[in-house]
Amino acid sequence: MATLFDAHDVEIAWCPGCGNFGILQALKETLDELGYRPQDVVVVSGIGQAAKAPHYLRVNVFNGLHGRSIPVAFAIKAIRPELLVIAESGDGCMYGEGGNHLLHAIRRNPDITVLVHNNQVYGLTKGQASPTSGEGFRSKAQPWGNLSRPLNPLSLAISQGAGLVARAFAGDKEGLKGILKEALNFRGFALVDILQPCVTFNPVNTYAWYRERVYYLGEDHNPEDQIAAFQKSLEWGDRIPLGVFYRNPQPTYEMKVEGRAKKRRNLFEEEEFQRVLQEEFAQFL
Amino acid sequence: MATLFDAHDVEIAWCPGCGNFGILQALKETLDELGYRPQDVVVVSGIGQAAKAPHYLRVNVFNGLHGRSIPVAFAIKAIRPELLVIAESGDGCMYGEGGNHLLHAIRRNPDITVLVHNNQVYGLTKGQASPTSGEGFRSKAQPWGNLSRPLNPLSLAISQGAGLVARAFAGDKEGLKGILKEALNFRGFALVDILQPCVTFNPVNTYAWYRERVYYLGEDHNPEDQIAAFQKSLEWGDRIPLGVFYRNPQPTYEMKVEGRAKKRRNLFEEEEFQRVLQEEFAQFL
Amino acid sequence: MVDVTLKVGGAAGQGVQTVSEVLSLILARHGYYVFSIEDYQSRIRGGHTFTLLRVAEQWVSGGKGALDILVCLDEATYHLHRGEVKEGGVILGKTGNEAPGEDVRLLPLDFEGVALRLGNRVFANMVATGAVLAILGIGLEEAREYVRETFARKGPEIVAKNEEALEEGTRLVEASGLSSSPFLGGHQNPSRVSRRYLISGNEALGLGALLAGCTFYSAYPMTPSTGILNFLASRAEAYGLIVEQAEDEIAAINMAIGASYAGARAMTGTSGGGFCLMCEGLGLAAMTETPIVVIDAQRPGPSTGLPTRTAQGDLLFVLHASHDEFPRFVFAPRDPQEALNTVIRAFNLAEKYQVPAIILSDQYLADTRWSYDRLSCEERPIRPSLSWDGASPYRRYALTPDGISPRLFPGGEALVVADSDEHDERGHLTEDLALRKAMQEKRMRKLEVMRKEMRLPFVLEGKDATLIGWGSTWGVLLEVRKALGQKGKSIGVVHFSDLYPLPEGLRDFLKRFPNPVVVEQNFSGQLATLLEQETLLPFPKRICRYDGLPFLVEELVEQVAEVL
Amino acid sequence: MVDVTLKVGGAAGQGVQTVSEVLSLILARHGYYVFSIEDYQSRIRGGHTFTLLRVAEQWVSGGKGALDILVCLDEATYHLHRGEVKEGGVILGKTGNEAPGEDVRLLPLDFEGVALRLGNRVFANMVATGAVLAILGIGLEEAREYVRETFARKGPEIVAKNEEALEEGTRLVEASGLSSSPFLGGHQNPSRVSRRYLISGNEALGLGALLAGCTFYSAYPMTPSTGILNFLASRAEAYGLIVEQAEDEIAAINMAIGASYAGARAMTGTSGGGFCLMCEGLGLAAMTETPIVVIDAQRPGPSTGLPTRTAQGDLLFVLHASHDEFPRFVFAPRDPQEALNTVIRAFNLAEKYQVPAIILSDQYLADTRWSYDRLSCEERPIRPSLSWDGASPYRRYALTPDGISPRLFPGGEALVVADSDEHDERGHLTEDLALRKAMQEKRMRKLEVMRKEMRLPFVLEGKDATLIGWGSTWGVLLEVRKALGQKGKSIGVVHFSDLYPLPEGLRDFLKRFPNPVVVEQNFSGQLATLLEQETLLPFPKRICRYDGLPFLVEELVEQVAEVL
Ligand SMILES: Cc1ncc(C[n+]2csc(CCOP(=O)(O)OP(=O)(O)O)c2C)c(N)n1
Ligand SMILES: Cc1ncc(C[n+]2csc(CCOP(=O)(O)OP(=O)(O)O)c2C)c(N)n1
Ligand code: SF4
Ligand code: SF4
Ligand SMILES: [Mg+2]
Ligand SMILES: [Mg+2]
């Protein structure tokens, strides 16, 4: 389906069949259906296969450093709260190199949405274990199999009382769109971990593997219940729940500093500049 | 009480009345009572007031960079599994600058103990809000009061299935010692968050404030139950639980790589060197 | 001509800085020129800390080592510093058993005892202040006013107690007869007109950012840069800035870059260890051509080093920081007055050329208070006008003759694309290697235009030798020149505030100065090395101090005399 | 003398690297000298990638641009590279409509079609290999053996199919008549004795670490350094190394430091962006005097830049990386053979002087395969003996004449204390500033002894000009010298592998070389700048390439001829 957000003249560098395509399409359609204009959207990314996604969207793009999309997104939103700000990258980028920023962004609760293309592997660097790779996952860098337990991003975010915490699957566009809509509409920090098959480097977590396991959280799940959300987030194996696990509305960072923007003074204007100068110099006399 | 671990000729640079003294004494006594010899103990720290602690112990010390004690401790333990390795530092160091290392060390489960002097403030840099400072905490850097919700280190560690997760209070030496013993005896990654009054920069979380609130988890708490542990970890306010919240024994990193050490070959010996050289060169022919 | 040096010493937490701050302020309000240097350890209580305060009728720009007055808030101060008091000097406060130097008067005073009699140990600082003012020969009028201003919100009782404390201090000195020949000769400020401005480097850097129209400051606390964070935080609510304490320095610089991309004027500040963590971000700013200002307040290293001491050891590091090559500005302001202007210039130039601008401060500049007749602000915040016609497709990284491309902000009509990868004119990542070459040339092209913005060093001529320095040592070089001038030596000063890119024609410019001696606060003489590289002229004479302490006048005079 | 250049091109994922790897191996086993350069994009599938392969009867050390054979796995390869094929050359595989160059033979072949007929697309690589071998005039004996070795564990059917694929490829060429005058003139390897060794830079760096007795390697994946991680991981279980993928580069270097403190020989590897994040750790290693080896595999920047391309842009950065000053070693090995020895030397010297040693690699060195008659290892891992008498109280940072203090490991009788703060001789943090001065002098004192370990550059004399280079460009400089020699020009080569500290007497040494031209893979000529700074001699002639591609022989010959 064509959308307002289709990029032109940009060649997509992903492998055919990659789960990233599904995410890209779902995001374009969601933005369109929510009525955004491209110029009102900024997508910030890091480095990796997933991190190329913003280039394939017709939006404002800041494709920064590996692991560092969240601080950039935070600041863009702080300065321009009227824009829709999305941070989008891979599991290595967001949970590995960038883990500390995720942790602390949750505490600030900026009104940004973090989309993680979680293929449980480092794609762009050719297949090393990522923070979410299963124990025993083999690669050239881990021929003995991954020795670490996988990071659980949902449990992590829920444990810190994040605004909205969800999991989606790249292989189900409509389901993914529904979750993206909830996340983008949410006022506050929203994390969407998107299960994304990597057809080249992850022979374990394939489309089929996910399809056999995923199911959507039902009506009986209460996303306002932190304990229930936590419990659900631990479920991973034969059954993998999708949907909004947790929802914890709270004042956003931008609301808290809103008052300040109104006091901003135009120092590019000589008279105002002189006024401030005199006020300030007087402090040092 | 004098211990084998008392340092001599080192002046302690903490403020009189600081909660750090209680932690230092408890740790010295615990090490002594557990029968360690100073030369078998390495204490690694970062930078901050708490991070000076190792200098005040008679042990091997690696006082590294702000935020980076855990990777150093991990590697020391990997190379010398026979040593007792402790990483000890402040809340800013471990949860702020060093947050990413904590997160990923849990995944590796090295047999190290992480002691955090949590005074809910940046002491050494004169009183800014730390990741665990309460919302609204005021300082020169946050005259409007801390806007972020505090990080919950216990919930975080429990959410990732850490080996042992505990909270102690610097103001109760015997209780603290009991918890330290459990943590040091535990085989695997152990996190002890120690509530530590900072008498100079934290006027909120004082000895009295803590004393009014803390209580020990009772027999009815089952530390093997992750959900119960999580639930308890969310309790913070009028009542603050102390003790071992969570216990999740699992193979340590050192166990997993134990086999390798046995295969180490002595390349400093010419004959062995030549043997390896020939084997390896043959691979490239 | 009055020129008095006094030192207030004690343990951390005893209020050394309060006493010296109050004294400085009162003396400046009295029309004296004041120069105060802070010396402290990386701890909060105990240990030893002092302030070196110079008070003079003429403008002063450096500290002296020989003391007229030593104020001992604890006994350790007496032991450590009594040898520094010169003939005719006075030691007051807690004294010890050892004899002072010859012709040094002792005035054992128990500030704390007096304070406790007044009801609280906290009044000790005001007792000491009162005593020192009496020895200097300054009436209590200004001091009372200060007390009233400062403690008003604590209620009239506290004001009264503090005033009493001042009076007690003065009385004790009068009782001893020591106030009969006061150090400042009884000079009094006849009117308010001649009050002096008093400002530290950190305050000036913060103020400069405020005046530059900075709307976003992110930082992780790190001595000696934290004062900038505190200053901007103190203004955030009134002026509408966003001041955010980041989780680490990596976040701090990436936040600043994000804010700048979004349209803010953004800055971050740190010290060497934090700057290390910002290297990658610096390259990101360069590659995305996003202007930011970064302050590196230097302290001795390597590594954690000496957190509260001063150094100029990061020059070559910041010059080359981050992998591969890109243009950047590096400034090192010489004093708070210049710092104020430098920050505004840095913002303007960073934005004009879409590059990172680095300002090198150090603990000495950061914490030292200077006094001035007037403060001036010669720079104005200027935003470059955006040169996009709105019609043709917008190309953020258009290949232009001077390398500067039209910079828009997101949220307008055109989409703005930025990438840390090599990219095409639109900002999208590319593997076209001819384009890569063109892009690298475009970025580097700016350097030659940037060079034209750079100013030649400050110059005072001299026949016997030329002291070459940079950054915060300027003031002491002036003092050394003056001191050696009085001894009949003609000493020149060439001082760099603009460090990179170095201005054109430097070789010919530098050739004309006789007998150059480079003076730096680092081990190897980094400016000297840089000048050698730039000019191929040798600068073998180097005076380097790297113990963490700033140069003081007398010692440096001797060192310079030695190499003459 | 046989000297054939061939290029295999296709989309990522099509097996370009497999074809060229197999070809290289078989040719080396046949006794040919092989030199292969990898060119790829930062993506996994699609786009364009190629290997440039040079096969010769004489040892070769650089790549040529003019092709004898172009193997097109896709049509894009034909379009992009057909112009590079010289007279008498052949293009085989997927061809397009445009005409090839004059006297270039076209052999349209559908490798994939043949493979599909054999049952699976994966056999296409072996079809192509068989075809190329036929054109070269190499029988299938070695190829068959390779197939048997490689696919044995996949079962006899797969072996048979692959052999069939090889034969199919050969047959197609024979049918075309193109094999009648083979490029290699039918030369066959008479015995196994003259097999050549084939090794890439990353393999050599990894092997060097293994031989140096490295027991701990921590890294975060980053192109082009990841091959080192893969190599060491492949040996970890057999040799008992700990190879740990860190969560980020900060952890990687801090882990290496911890391991070294605990007694391991420890290394980390990364590229420029990751090195940025290691700057603070580098200073930690310096301050705690903990030896580590750090490999920076350079790629073009700034920032993410061109992840899969080559550059020498980080020289001045790594020389000054981290705040304040401390001694370090910087090496840039010239080829895999030297890389092997350099890593061992770096470990030995880092440990002897208790300092960090940095090895500069780059994508070209990392990925390029060189062939040799023999590999040699001139270095041996040496652990300095510990000089503590066991009696007097142990002082980790004793102030010694050469700055080297007795280094023990924890777990022995003495307690080992290390601190990133300035510290006393025991390692405990200090604020004694006289001691600070002594400690900084102690650390810096090592630099002069270290300098004596450094080797003068490799030299080949020449009368008309002298090419000066460093690191991975050595091989191509040799080739250029030879090529210009054939044109009657006498060209010298001065090549640096030891970069910091620079050996003594460099000024006099360099003065004797006529007409110096510095050749570098960066924008400004960083070695030239460094040499100017060190010698005060001017090096204005610089040939700089910074588009991410390595120098090839013919182009560089022309560029050198221009400046002669
Ligand atoms: C500082 C730094 N370290 C390492 C890299 C190399 N690098 C690029 S992408 C990547 C991993 C990507 O994995 P992920 O984020 O999961 O994305 P994917 O490719 O799987 O979509 C790494 C390690 C880098 N660009 N920068
Ligand atoms: C990279 C880096 N950034 C900043 C600092 C400055 N710094 C030293 S200690 C500290 C905070 C200490 O807080 P915490 O870890 O809570 O320890 P405390 O002093 O409260 O015990 C900071 C920010 C540093 N040393 N290194
Ligand atoms: S490597 Fe994996 S994640 Fe990357 S594009 Fe290919 S399939 Fe997708
Ligand atoms: S500042 Fe606080 S944490 Fe530091 S020593 Fe003093 S009381 Fe303790
Ligand atoms: Mg991934
Ligand atoms: Mg703290």
In chain D, where the domains are located: 3-196, 200-371, 388-453, 458-563
Give me the pLDDT at residue C226, please. Answer: 98
Report the DSSP beta bridge partners of residue D330: D358, D500
Choose among A13, A125, A201: nearest Cβ to D226: A125
Choose among D296, D298, D305: nearest Cβ to C421: D305
Q: What is the pLDDT of residues C27-63, one digit of tens each?
A: 999 899 999 999 999 999 999 999 999 999 999 999 9
Q: What is the pLDDT of residues D258-287, one digit of tens each?
A: 999 999 999 999 999 999 999 999 999 999
Q: How far apart (Å, rounded) are the C-alpha atoms in residues A248 and A109? A: 10
Closest residue to atom 1 of ligand 3, CA basis? A123
In a domain, A130, yes or no: yes
Q: How far apart (Å, rounded) are the C-alpha atoms in residues D289 and D420? A: 10
Q: Does C435 touch chain A (CB under 8 A)?
A: no
Candidate from B89-93, B225-229, D117-121 with smallest mean pLDDT: D117-121
Query: Looking at beta carbons, which residues of chain C come within 8 Å of A59?
Result: 415
Rounded to two decimals, the ipTM of the complex is 0.98
Q: What is the pLDDT of residues D209-256, one digit of tens each?
A: 999 999 999 999 999 999 999 999 999 999 999 999 999 999 999 999
Choose among B15, B65, B141: nearest Cβ to C221: B141
Separation of CA B18 and ligand 4 centre (Å):
5
Please state whether beta strands C266-270 and C292-298 pair in parallel, antiparallel, or not at all (unpaired). parallel
Please state whether beta strands C465-470 and C516-520 pair in parallel, antiparallel, or not at all (unpaired). parallel
Q: What is the pLDDT of residues B184-207, one digit of tens each?
A: 999 999 999 999 999 999 999 999
Please state whether beta strands A214-216 and A113-118 pair in parallel, antiparallel, or not at all (unpaired). unpaired
Do D155 and D113 form a contact (C-beta atoms < 8 A)?
A: no
Q: How far is B33 from chain C (nearest CA, A)?
A: 31
Tell me: pLDDT of C187 over 70: no
Question: Could you say which ligand is closest to the alpha carbon of residue A53?
Answer: 1
Q: What is the pLDDT of residues D56-71, one digit of tens each?
A: 999 999 999 999 999 9
**B249: number of Cβ within 10 Å:** 12
Question: Could you say which ligand is closest to the alpha carbon of residue A201?
Answer: 3
Half-sphere exposure of D451 (CA within 13 A, CB side): 12
Q: Does C388 touch chain A (CB under 8 A)?
A: no
Q: What is the pLDDT of residues C414-457, one digit of tens each?
A: 999 999 999 999 999 999 999 999 999 999 999 999 999 999 99
Do B194 and B168 form a contact (C-beta atoms < 8 A)?
A: yes
Choose among D13, D221, D307: nearest Cβ to A141: D221
pLDDT band at C192 (very low <50, low <70, confident <90, very high): very low
Per residue, the 3-state secondary structure of C430-450, as one string, reads CCCHHHHHHHHHHHHHHHHHH
What are the Cα distances from residue C317, in Å, to C297, C474, D279, D318?
A: 13, 21, 10, 9
Residues B177 and B121 occupy one common structural domain: yes
In one-letter notation, the amino acid at residue D18 is T
Work out the widest C-alpha separation in chain B, in whole angstroms.
Answer: 74
Query: Looking at beta carbons, which residues of chain A come within 8 Å of B256?
Result: 147
Q: What is the pLDDT of residues A37-71, one digit of tens each?
A: 999 999 999 999 999 999 999 999 999 999 999 99
Give me the pLDDT at residue D1, please. Answer: 79
Give me the pLDDT at residue C12, please. Answer: 94
Which of C219, C198, C199, C218 minimizes the C-alpha distance to C208? C199
Percent of chain D with pLDDT over 70: 98
Nearby residues of C78 by Cβ (< 8 Å), 6 or more positions away: C70, C72, C91, C93, C94, C95, C96, C98
Q: How far apart (Å, rounded) are the C-alpha atoms in residues B179 and C413? A: 61
Q: How far apart are the first and last CA of chain A?
A: 67
Give me the pLDDT at residue B1, please. Answer: 84
Contact: B152, A158; criterion CB under 8 Å? no
Q: How far is D162 from chain C (nearest CA, A)?
A: 34
Backbone angles phi, psi at A112, to 5 degrees: -125, 160
Peptide bond into D302 cis (omega under 30): yes
Residues B171 and B221 occupy one common structural domain: yes
Residues A206 and A273 occupy one common structural domain: no
Q: How far apart (Å, rounded) are the C-alpha atoms in residues C448 and C452? A: 7
- Looking at domain D200-371, its CATH class is alpha beta
Contact: B148, A226; criterion CB under 8 Å? no
Domain range for A265 is: 252-285
Report the DSSP beta bridge partners of residue C57: none
Contact: A59, C415; criterion CB under 8 Å? yes
In a domain, A13, yes or no: no
Do A206 and A197 form a contact (C-beta atoms < 8 A)?
A: yes
Q: In b/e form, how buried is each residue of A145-155, taking b as 16+ CB within 10 angstroms?
A: ebbbbbbbbbb
Contact: D418, B62; criterion CB under 8 Å? yes
CATH code of domain C458-563: 3.40.50.920
CA A268 to chain CA centroid, Å, is 36
Q: How far is C40 from chain B (nearest CA, A)?
A: 13
In a domain, A9, yes or no: no
**C333: number of Cβ within 10 Å:** 27
Do A123 and A201 form a contact (C-beta atoms < 8 A)?
A: yes
Q: What is the pLDDT of residues A147-171, one digit of tens each?
A: 999 999 999 999 999 999 999 999 9
H-only helix segments in C299-391: 315-320, 336-353, 363-367
Q: Is B68 a pocket residue for ligand 2 (Cβ < 6 Å)? A: no
Question: Closest chain A residue to C256 measured between Cα atoms?
Answer: A75
In a domain, B10, yes or no: no
Peptide bond into A110 cis (omega under 30): no
Q: In b/e form, how buried is each residue of B158-196, taking b as 16+ CB within 10 angstroms?
A: bbbbbbbbbbbbbbbbebbbbbbbbbbebebbbbbbbbb
If one residue of D41, D44, D218, D222 were mutated to test the ligand 1 pocket, choosing by the most ligand atoms within 8 A of its CB, it would be: D222
Nearby residues of B269 by Cβ (< 8 Å), 6 or more positions away: none
Q: How far apart (Å, rounded) are the C-alpha atoms in residues A176 and D382? A: 59
CATH code at B229? 3.40.50.970
Residues B196 and B281 occupy one common structural domain: no
Q: In b/e form, how buried is each residue of C311-329, taking b as 16+ CB within 10 angstroms?
A: bbbbbbbbbbbbbbbbbbb
Choose among D250, D302, D419: nearest Cβ to C283: D302
Candidate from B53-62, D97-106, D384-393, D427-436 with smallest mean pLDDT: D384-393
Do D335 and D472 form a contact (C-beta atoms < 8 A)?
A: yes
Q: Is B18 a pocket residue for ligand 4 (Cβ < 6 Å)? A: yes
Q: Does C45 touch chain B (CB under 8 A)?
A: yes
Q: In b/e form, how buried is each residue of C396-406, taking b as 16+ CB within 10 angstroms?
A: bbeeeeebbbb
Q: How far apart (Å, rounded) are the C-alpha atoms in residues C235 and C248? A: 22
Which of D207, D232, D202 minimizes the C-alpha distance to D217? D232
In a domain, B87, yes or no: yes
Q: How far apart (Å, rounded) are the C-alpha atoms in residues B11 and C41? A: 13
Residues B241 and B278 occupy one common structural domain: no
Q: How far is D499 from chain A (nearest CA, A)?
A: 30
Residues B275 and B237 occupy one common structural domain: no
What are the Cα distances from residue A93, in Å, to A50, A55, A120, B44, D251?
A: 9, 17, 11, 28, 15
Report the DSSP beta bridge partners of residue B243: B167
In a domain, A82, yes or no: yes
H-only helix segments in chain A: 19-33, 69-79, 91, 99-108, 153-159, 173-185, 207-213, 226-233, 253-262, 270-282
Separation of CA B120 and ligand 4 centre (Å):
11
Angle at which helices B270-282 and D201-211 pack, to 10 degrees? 160
Tell me: pLDDT of D367 over 50: yes
Residues A193 and A205 occupy one common structural domain: yes
Which of D25, D330, D337, D342 minimizes the C-alpha distance to D201? D337
Closest residue to atom 8 of ligand 4, CA basis? B18
**C97: number of Cβ within 10 Å:** 7
Q: How far is C505 from chain B (nearest CA, A)?
A: 42
Tell me: pLDDT of D486 over 60: yes
Give me the pLDDT at residue D192, please. Answer: 46
Give me the pLDDT at residue D189, please. Answer: 53
3-state secondary structure (DSSP) of residue C325:
coil
In a domain, A67, yes or no: yes
Q: Which H/E stretch holds residue C67?
A: strand C67-72
Domains C3-196 and C458-563 alike in fold: no
Residues B91 and B113 occupy one common structural domain: yes
Q: Which H/E stretch holds residue D72?
A: strand D67-72
Contact: C417, A100; criterion CB under 8 Å? no
Nearby residues of D234 by Cβ (< 8 Å), 6 or more positions away: A140, A143
Q: What is the pLDDT of residues C279-326, one digit of tens each?
A: 999 999 999 999 999 999 999 999 999 999 999 999 999 999 999 999
Do D351 and D383 form a contact (C-beta atoms < 8 A)?
A: yes
Nearby residues of D511 by Cβ (< 8 Å), 6 or more positions away: D537
CATH code of domain D3-196: 3.40.920.10
Contact: C304, B65; criterion CB under 8 Å? yes
Q: Is C304 a pocket residue for ligand 2 (Cβ < 6 Å)? A: yes
Q: Is B198 a pocket residue for ligand 4 (Cβ < 6 Å)? A: yes
**D463: number of Cβ within 10 Å:** 11
Contact: D211, B277; criterion CB under 8 Å? yes
Q: What is the pLDDT of residues D449-468, one digit of tens each?
A: 999 999 999 999 999 999 99
Backbone angles phi, psi at D545, to 5 degrees: -120, 135
Q: What are chain A's partners, defined as 3 or more CB pairs within 8 angstroms?
A: B, C, D
Tell me: pLDDT of D208 over 80: yes
List residues, by chain if needed, whose CB lies under 5 Å from ion ligand 6: B 90-92, 119, 123
Number of domains into which chain B is organized? 2
Tell me: pLDDT of B59 over 70: yes
What are the Cα distances from residue B149, in Å, to B143, B232, C72?
A: 16, 18, 44
Q: Which pair of tokens denotes residue D115?
A: 């493979």
Residues A32 and A51 occupy one common structural domain: yes
Tell me: pLDDT of D186 over 50: yes
Contact: C258, A101; criterion CB under 8 Å? no
- Find which of C44, C277, C303 to mutate to test the B interface (most B CBs within 10 Å of its CB): C44
Nearby residues of C298 by Cβ (< 8 Å), 6 or more positions away: C271, C272, C310, C311, C312, C313, C314, C360, C361, C362, C363, D323, D324
In a domain, B70, yes or no: yes
